[in-house]
């Protein structure tokens, strides 16, 4: 996942039209140190992910799942546009509802098995 996140960071930076120098200055690090982030040579912690996402105008989770195939509306066009957060929330709601339905089905099966044993 880290390598995907590093390439995502590069992609979003480029979509925003930011140079590595600019992002590095905003983060308070050197361009060389920032380059190591994009090349997966530096461990990313949550604090750094939060700072990058804030700079890119998106949530940390949005940055992590950007262009993830499990989130079909997570394209660069929707991220850069103003409706990205809404699209992400709708996708997330759909995934949660599907998982909840699956869990309810599993619970019903388990309940039947327990009742059958008693």
Q: What is the pLDDT of residues 24-76, one digit of tens each?
A: 999 999 999 999 999 989 888 888 999 999 999 988 888 888 765 554 444 44
> Which residue has 């979003």 as its token pair?
12
Domain of residue 52 covers: 2-117
Q: Domain total for the chain? A: 1
Residues 6 or more apart in contact with residue 23 via CB below 8 angstroms: 13, 34, 52, 55
DSSP state at residue 43 = -
Domain containing residue 57: CATH number = 1.10.260.40
Greater model confidence, 100 or 88: 100
pTM of the model: 0.56
């Amino acid at each position: 996942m880290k390598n995907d996140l590093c390439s995502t960071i590069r992609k979003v930076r480029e979509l925003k039209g930011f140079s590595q120098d600019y992002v590095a200055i905003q983060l308070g690090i050197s361009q060389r140190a920032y380059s190591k982030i994009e090349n997966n040579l530096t461990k990313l912690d949550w604090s750094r992910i939060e700072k990058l996402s804030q700079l890119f105008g998106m949530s940390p989770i949005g940055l992590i799942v950007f262009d993830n195939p499990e989130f079909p509306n997570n394209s660069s066009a929707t991220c850069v546009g103003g409706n990205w957060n809404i699209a992400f929330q709708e996708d997330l709601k759909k995934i949660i509802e599907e998982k909840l339905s699956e869990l309810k089905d599993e619970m019903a099966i388990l309940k039947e098995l327990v009742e059958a044993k008693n």
